[in-house]
């Protein structure tokens, strides 16, 4: 009996067979753990591929020139962009075509336009069959995710080029061009015997230039500065001959009588002639400031065309002014890629801005002064609404004021009428006496950006204090007040200065690019 009890006690205490039992019991969770890692690793790889496909689809759906981007750009309101949704789904499906080991893929795409903002989102779910986890009755793993992207649509912008075409913008464009004008211009020689640099533009006979009262020699009682600037300089010099200095010929020069009797048209019929002068220093013409402005505007058209992301994204209009704003000279148009030699295009209208210089004949512009405040008020009236740039019917307006900044309130009757009003120059803020410029504030208060290009007013030298109530001195005394007055008019950061033709071109392009950048940031 005692032997039996001893045997039972030895069996109870012997543990040598537990390893097999424990191993058998531990195999189930161990295999499950290893299988879980393998299956989850596979699911993670599949999800990464799904995520990559979703990322690509979300970005592609709103990329430039994609169907969604193009469709959204043409929309006149906000909302879903169905073309973008279809494109996102196609891109996602195409990316997943070669992916195996996944089933029950589901994706939902949205593409939405809000103002000029475009947003896309794609969400997905899919099943990844398991291998090892089936041991514990997990037949699949479900993965999900999403991807979002955003982009700015190209803003639709309107540019109102408000262009000073008053007499002082008829100055030669450079110092060397001014010297050429002084050497050959007969206008106002009796007041300015060292040479008149202003290409006088009052075309009616007996208006501002008369043979016995102002000129260096008989000119058929016409001002010739502008006409001379349009013809061959060597050709004109060849017409002049020396003569005895007297009251009729104070400069000792004269033109043939056959030319004088037909002035100014006889110059155009006898000499090589240009319609405009895009370059300084050529024999064919003398470049005036407005020639340089016109050339720069045409370069601006080139910049705008190269910057355009969607059809008709930009509209540009030309609005010259003297006493009045010429609102119908060339109103807003998206056709800015024409020929500067085709009279029906805005490119031609820009190139020939100098032809609008004060002739005292154009009732659309008026005559005699420089009424910047009136011009800006007129532009404000033209701008019917201020949009958010999201469509061609909700455009963002910009006003580009190009001027030498001398506000001159005088008036001359059209045609060949009398003078009225003060001829003493001032500024749009009345030489600093106004804290703000009302005509500029009226635009800015509506959310309209006013961008100003100041082409510095050139002091008159020599001064003729006896001429027109000392008009020259008052003009010179006004010059220091001009920059601050125009800065006050401009929207913050939108004041530019340009002295030379190349500066004018660079400044107008900078103004355009600044407007484009600002429209993207603020809208």
Domain boundary among 270, 301, 330: 270
Residue 281 lies in a domain: no
Domain that holds residue 144: 32-152
414, 362 in Cβ contact below 8 A? yes
Residues listed for the chain = 523
Residue 9 lies in a domain: no
Q: Is residue 329 domain-shared with residue 355, that is, in the same domain?
A: yes
Pick the closest to residue 109 from 164, 156, 147 (CA basis): 147
Residue 504 lies in a domain: yes
Other beta carbons within 10 angstroms of residue 368's beta carbon come to: 25
Strand order in the sheet with 314-321: 330-333, 314-321, 157-164, 396-403, 449-454, 495-497
39, 140 in Cβ contact below 8 A? no
Residue 283 lies in a domain: no
Distance CA 370, CA 358 (A): 10
pTM score, two decimals?
0.85
Residue 282 lies in a domain: no
Q: Is residue 166 domain-shared with residue 208, that is, in the same domain?
A: no
CATH number of 331's domain: 3.40.50.410
Q: Is residue 483 domain-shared with residue 348, that is, in the same domain?
A: yes
Q: Is residue 38 domain-shared with residue 103, that is, in the same domain?
A: yes
Residue 26 lies in a domain: no
Distances (CA, A) of 476 to 168, 195, 208, 358, 453: 13, 18, 21, 21, 20
Domain boundary among 214, 236, 270: 270
- Domains of the chain: total: 3
Structure tokens at 178: 């001014």
Beta strands 495-497 and 449-454 are parallel
Residue 189 lies in a domain: yes
Distance CA 430, CA 406 (A): 10
128, 102 in Cβ contact below 8 A? yes
Report CA torsion sign: 86, 87, 88, 93: positive
Burial of 27 (0-12, 13-18, 19+ CB in 10 A): exposed
447, 386 in Cβ contact below 8 A? yes
Q: Is residue 380 domain-shared with residue 496, that is, in the same domain?
A: yes
Domain boundary among 270, 300, 329: 270
Residue 259 lies in a domain: yes
Per-residue pLDDT of the chain (523 residues; tens, 9 = 90+): 566 666 656 655 655 556 655 555 555 565 666 667 888 888 999 999 999 999 999 999 999 889 999 999 889 899 999 999 999 999 999 999 988 889 999 999 999 999 889 999 999 999 999 887 877 777 899 999 999 999 888 999 999 999 999 999 999 999 999 999 999 999 999 988 988 888 887 888 998 899 999 999 999 999 999 999 999 999 999 999 999 999 999 999 999 999 999 999 999 999 999 999 999 999 999 999 999 999 999 999 999 999 998 899 999 999 999 999 999 999 999 999 999 999 999 999 999 999 999 989 999 999 999 999 999 999 999 999 999 999 999 999 999 999 999 999 999 999 988 999 999 999 999 999 999 999 999 999 999 999 999 999 988 888 889 888 999 999 999 999 999 999 999 999 999 999 999 999 999 999 999 999 988 765 5
Q: Is residue 108 domain-shared with residue 239, that is, in the same domain?
A: no
């Amino acid at each position: 009996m005692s032997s039996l009890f001893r045997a039972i006690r030895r069996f109870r205490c012997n543990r040598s067979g537990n390893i097999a039992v424990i191993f058998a019991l531990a195999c189930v969770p161990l295999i499950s753990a290893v299988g879980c890692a393998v299956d989850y690793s596979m699911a993670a790889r599949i999800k990464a591929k799904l995520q990559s496909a979703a990322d690509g689809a979300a970005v592609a759906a709103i990329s430039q020139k994609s169907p969604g981007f193009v469709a959204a750009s043409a929309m006149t309101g906000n909302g879903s962009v169905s073309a973008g949704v279809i494109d996102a789904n196609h891109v996602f499906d195409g990316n997943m075509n070669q992916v195996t080991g996944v089933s029950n893929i589901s994706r939902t795409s949205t593409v939405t336009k809000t103002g000029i903002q475009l947003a896309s989102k794609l969400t997905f779910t899919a099943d990844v069959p398991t291998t090892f986890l089936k041991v514990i009755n997990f037949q699949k793993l479900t993965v999900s995710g999403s991807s979002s992207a955003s982009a700015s649509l190209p803003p639709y912008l309107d540019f109102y080029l408000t262009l000073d075409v008053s007499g002082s913008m008829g100055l030669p464009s450079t110092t060397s061009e001014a010297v050429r004008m002084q050497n050959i211009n007969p206008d106002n020689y009796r007041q300015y015997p060292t040479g008149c640099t202003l290409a006088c533009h009052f075309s009616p006979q007996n208006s501002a230039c008369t043979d016995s009262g102002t000129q260096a020699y008989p000119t058929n009682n016409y001002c010739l500065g502008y006409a001379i600037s349009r013809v061959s300089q060597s050709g004109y010099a060849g017409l002049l001959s020396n003569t005895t200095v007297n009251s009729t010929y104070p400069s000792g020069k004269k033109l043939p009588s056959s030319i004088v009797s037909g002035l100014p048209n006889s110059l155009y019929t006898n000499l090589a002639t240009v319609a405009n002068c895009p370059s300084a220093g050529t024999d064919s013409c003398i470049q005036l400031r407005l020639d340089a402005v016109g050339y720069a505007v045409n370069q601006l058209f080139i910049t705008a065309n190269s910057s355009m992301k969607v059809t008709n994204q930009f509209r540009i209009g030309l609005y010259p002014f003297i006493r009045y704003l010429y609102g119908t000279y060339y109103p807003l148009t998206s056709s800015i890629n024409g020929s500067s030699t085709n009279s029906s295009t805005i490119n031609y209208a820009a190139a020939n801005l100098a032809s609008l210089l004060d002739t005292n004949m154009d009732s659309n512009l008026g005559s005699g002064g420089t009424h910047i405040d009136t011009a800006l008020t007129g532009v404000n009236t033209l701008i019917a609404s201020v949009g958010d740039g999201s469509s061609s019917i909700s455009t963002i307006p910009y006003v580009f004021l190009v001027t030498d900044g001398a506000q001159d309130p005088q008036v001359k009757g059209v045609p060949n009428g009398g003078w009225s009003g003060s001829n003493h120059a001032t500024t749009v803020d009345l030489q600093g006496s106004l804290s703000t410029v009302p005509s500029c504030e009226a635009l800015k208060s509506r959310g309209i950006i006013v961008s100003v290009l100041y082409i510095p007013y050139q002091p008159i030298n020599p001064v003729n204090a006896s001429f027109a109530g000392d008009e020259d001195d008052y003009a010179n005394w006004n010059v220091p007040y001009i920059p601050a007055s125009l800065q006050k008019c401009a929207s913050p950061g939108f004041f530019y200065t340009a002295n030379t033709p190349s500066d004018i071109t660079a400044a107008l392009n900078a103004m355009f690019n600044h407007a484009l950048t600002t429209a993207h940031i603020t809208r």
